[in-house]
Chain A
Amino acid sequence: MKLNRKNDHFNYILGLAITTFILLVVLIGFFYTPYDPNKMNAALKNSPPSLTHLLGTDNFGRDILSRVMKGAGTTYIIAVAIVCIGASLGTILGAFTGYFGGWLDEILMRVNDVLISFPSILLALVFVSLFGPGSYNIIFALGIIFVPSFARVVRSEFIVLKERDFIRNAKLMGANSFRIMFVHILPNIKRVLIPSLLIGFNNAVLAEAGLSYLGLGVQPPQASLGRMLSEAQSYLLDSPWYAIAPGVMIVLTVLGFSLISGGIENEYE
C-alpha cells in the first residue's frame, strides 16, 4: 500500500513538472523564439540538431525549435477554445436535462448516447467537408462535438445531486430553479468536472493534431504541431528530428495533463 501512495504521488508530481515545463516553453514562445519560425534559410536545409539550432531545421531551413514553440501555442489556444465551447454549452445542457428530466431529457439522452459513440474525428470530418477547413472552423466543429461528453458527465452529477437533502431543503425554502442549479448544485460537481476538462483538453489537442495533419485544420503558413507532422512525413528518412520534435511535444502535453488529472482523481479517492 505504501508503494501505491508513493507511486500515485510521484505520477502527480511528474505530471506537474512536465506540464509546467511545457507551458513555460510555450508561454515564452509567445514573446520570443530563438529564430523567426517562418524565416527560411536554404543553406541550412534539413540540418540535424546542433548548438545553434537545438532541434535542427526543416526542409526550408526553418528552425524547428521555434516552430514547435509557436506551433504548440497555436495548438493549445485552439484546444482551450474548443474546451471552453464544449464545456460551457455542455454544462448548461447537462444541468438543465439532469435537473428537469422529462421527455426532453429522454430524447436528448438518446441522441447524446448515439453521438458519443462516434469518434470525434469523424464528425469533424463531416463538418469540414461541409464548411471547409481552417482553424476557426475546427474550433467551432470540435467545440460542438465535445458538448455531448461534457453534457453527459454534468447530467449524471445533477441527477444524483438533485435528490440530496440540502437541495430538497433549498427547494422548499423557495429557491428558484436557476439558483438551485447554478448556486447550490454546480459548485458540487467540481470534483468531476475538473478531470473532465483536463481530459477534454487532451482530446482536443489530439483531434486538432489529427485534423491539421490531414491538411484540414490549421492552414499554412500558420504552424501547428499536426501540420508540422504532415510536412515532416516526406522527410522521415533524411531528417527524422523534423517529425520527432512536434510529436514528442504532443506526447508530453497530453501525458502531463493526464498525470495531473489522475493525480486529482486520486486525491479525492
Chain B
Amino acid sequence: MNTNETLLNINNLSIGFAKRGKVNTVVDSVSLGVKKGEILGIVGESGSGKSITALATMGLLPDSAKILSGGIYFLGNNLLAMKEKEFRKLRGSEISMVFQDSMTSFNPLLTVGTQIEETLRLHSNYVKEKCKALTLEALKKVGLSNPHEIYHMYPHQLSGGMRQRAMIAMAMIAGSKLIIADEPTTALDVTTQDKILRLLKKMNAQHGTSIILISHNLKVIQSICTRAIVMKDGKIEESGTVKKLFTHPDTDYTKMLISAIPMPFSESDRKPSETFFMGSKKNNNANSKNRTLPVNHKKEQPGILTIQNLNVFYSEKALGLFGKKTRKQVIHDVSLSVSQGETFGIVGESGSGKSTLVKAIVGLNKEIEGTIKINDVAFIGDASSVSKPQMVFQDPYGSLNPTKKISWILEEPLRLQTKLSKTERMAKVHEIIEQVGLTTKHLERYPSQLSGGQRQRVAIAAALIVNPKLVILDEPVSSLDVTIQAQILQLLKDLQKKYNLTYLFISHDLNVIFQMCDRVCVIYKGKIVEMKEARELFYYPQHDYTKELLKSAMIQAEL
C-alpha cells in the first residue's frame, strides 16, 4: 500500500474487557485501512465491536477496556504507543468524532457557539474574534442558514437535524483529516437522515476529509461509502467496495444482511427468494408488460375489527399548578377494517401517530371520537375465546414483569380474563409454552434469565393463551437481531395458520411488513395516506409519502 495515500491503518487490533478475572474479547484481530479522501463504512449489528474500534482509534476507550494486541497507525504514528499528551493534540484537530445522540453529546448549559469554538481554542492561538468568525463560517458551511442566531442558542433549542449539523461543524472546524461518524443518522427521521448524509459527502468532496461511517443500516452505508467492512462478533466478516459487497457478497452473513431477508420461509405464499428490495427493479421491469398481480385468494372471512372515522386526542398534563392542559388531535378520520385470519399492517415512522392509534384500539386512550368495533366471531374450535385484543410489544426487556416467574406471567392473562380454575389455567400454560417453542423448564425462570428472543416468545404466548380474536403486534421484532427476527416471524406465521389468528401488525420496517402482511396501510401525520394489498402498495405506490418511504428503504445502485 502506498503509504502516502493511507491515512489510518488498523493492524490486527484486539480489545477485551476484564470482568471478574476473565477477559471478554470484543474486538478480534481487526485490520482495516482508510485512505486519504476516502469514505469507509463499517457495518454491523449491536455487539459487533464497531463502536469500540472507533473509540479505540480516538483513544476514548473506557478504563475497563484493555488493548490485547495490535496497533493503530495514523499517518504512520502508532496511536496506542503515544503518550496521552501527544494524543490529545490529535483529538479534535486531526481525528474527530461525531456521535449518535446529538442532544446528550452537547453540554446543555453552554451555548452551541461556545462549544464549537472550544475545539478551535484548544488547538490554535487565534484570538476571540477570529475564533468566533471561524465558528460562524463553519456553521454556514454545514448548511445552517442563520449562524448568528444559532451561535447564541443552547443545544435544546435546536432541532435534531440542526444539532447534528452543529456537531459536524464542531468536528470539522479545526481541519480534521479523519472524521469518525458513529451512527450519526440513527436518531433522525428519514428525510433528515438523507440531508445529513449528503452533508458528510459534501465535506468529503470539498475538503478531502476522510470519513469512517459506522452504521447498522445498510442503506446508510450504501449511500455515501466507497468501501465497507462488515463486522460480526468482533471479527471482520467481509470487506470490499460497496458495489461488490452489495451485488456479490461472499459470506452468508453478509448475504443475509444485504438481502434483508431473514431466512427462507418454509410455507409461504411468497417465493423464498423473492425479496422486495433486490427484486423490485427487476420485478417492476418484468411486470411492466403484464399488469396482473397475483391476488391473495383468501375466502371471504368475517370482519374482526372495524374502525370508522376515528379521531384520537391526546391531552398533555398541565404544567405545574397553573399551566393549562393542551389537547392535541393525533389521529384524523381513520377508517379501516380487518378480517379474520388476515394480517393487517400499519406502517409509519415515529411521530406518525401509529402508537396512539394502537392505544385507542386497545382501550388505553379513551379520548376518541368515532367507532372502534371488535366483532363477536365464533372462533375455530374453542368457545372460550376472548374478545379483547391482546398485545405483543416491541421491547422484550420491558414487556415482562421482572419480578415474576414465567409461569405467573402466562397465568395472569387467564386469571384476569377467564373464569378457569387453577388447574385448568396451569394446563393451558403448559400447553402454550410448548407451542411457542420453549419448554416447561422455562416456566420456573425469571425474565432476566431468558434471551431477547425467548422473552418475545413468552410475550407471544401470553397474548395467545386466551385465544384472542385479535392480536396486535407493535414492532414485535424491531429490537431483535436479524437471525432471531426470522425465527419469531416464522413462529407468528405458524401460529396464525394453526389457530386462524388475526394480526394487526405495526412496524416501521418495510421488509418485515412485506413478509408478513396481506394488506397494509400507511400512516403519515395521523392520517391514512394509502391502504391496499401489500404487493400492490409496494410495487405500485400511489401517494408521494409512500413513495418516499419505499425509496428510503430501497437499496439503489448510486445515490
Contacts and interface: CB of A to CB of B under 8 A. Distances in A.
Chains A and B come from one and the same complex = yes
Contacts of B388: 172-174
Among A101, A164, A175: residue with most chain B CB under 10 A: A164
Interface stretch (B69-77, B335-343, B390-398): B390-398
A106 B325 CA distance: 14
Contacts of A221: none
Among A166, A175, A187: residue with most chain B CB under 10 A: A166
Contacts of A170: 412, 416
Contact of B416 (A110, A165, A175, A188): A175
Contact of A106 (B321, B362, B416, B417): B321
Interface in A99-137: 101, 106-107, 110
A168 B398 CA distance: 10
Interface string A137-173: 0000000000000000000000000001110111111
Contacts of B402: 188
A166 B399 contact: yes
- Main SS of the interface on chain B? loop
B554 to A, nearest CB: 32
A184 interface: yes
Contacts of A184: 401
Contacts of A1: 18, 63-64
Contact of B401 (A110, A166, A173, A190): A166
B363 interface: yes
B364 A173 contact: no
Contacts of B412: 170, 173, 175
A171 B363 CA distance: 9
A164 B403 contact: no
Contacts of A168: 364, 391, 393
Contacts of A190: 403
Interface in B343-397: 362-364, 388-391, 393-395
B413 interface: yes
Contacts of B63: 1
A164 B398 contact: yes
Contacts, number: 55
A164 B403 CA distance: 13
Nearest to A103: B318
A165 B395 contact: yes
Interface string B4-42: 000000000000001000000000000000000000000
A231 B83 CA distance: 64
A173 B400 contact: no
A105 to B, nearest CB: 10
A110 B320 CA distance: 10
Contacts of B400: 166
A165 B388 CA distance: 17
A68 to B, nearest CB: 41
Given A110-B321, A173-B412, A165 B398 contact: yes
Interface in B282-320: 317-318, 320
A165 B362 contact: no
B151 to A, nearest CB: 37
B416 A173 contact: yes
A169 B393 contact: yes
Contacts of A172: 362-364, 388-391
Interface in B398-423: 398-404, 412-413, 416-417
B316 to A, nearest CB: 12
Given A172-B364, A173-B416, A101 B399 contact: no
A131 to B, nearest CB: 32
Interface of A: 1, 101, 106-107, 110, 164-166, 168-175, 184, 187-188, 190
26 contacts: A1-B18, A1-B63, A1-B64, A106-B321, A107-B321, A110-B321, A165-B394, A165-B398, A165-B399, A166-B401, A169-B391, A169-B399, A170-B412, A172-B362, A172-B363, A172-B364, A172-B389, A173-B388, A173-B390, A173-B417, A174-B388, A174-B416, A184-B401, A187-B401, A187-B404, A188-B401
Listed from nearest, the 10 A-B pairs whose CB atoms lie closest are A187-B403, A165-B399, A165-B393, A165-B398, A172-B362, A166-B401, A173-B416, A174-B416, A164-B398, A173-B413
Interface of B: 18, 63-64, 317-318, 320-321, 362-364, 388-391, 393-395, 398-404, 412-413, 416-417, 462
Given A166-B399, A172-B362, A172-B363, 19 more contacts: A1-B18, A1-B63, A1-B64, A101-B317, A106-B318, A166-B398, A166-B401, A168-B364, A168-B393, A169-B391, A169-B393, A169-B462, A171-B364, A172-B388, A172-B391, A173-B412, A174-B416, A187-B403, A188-B403
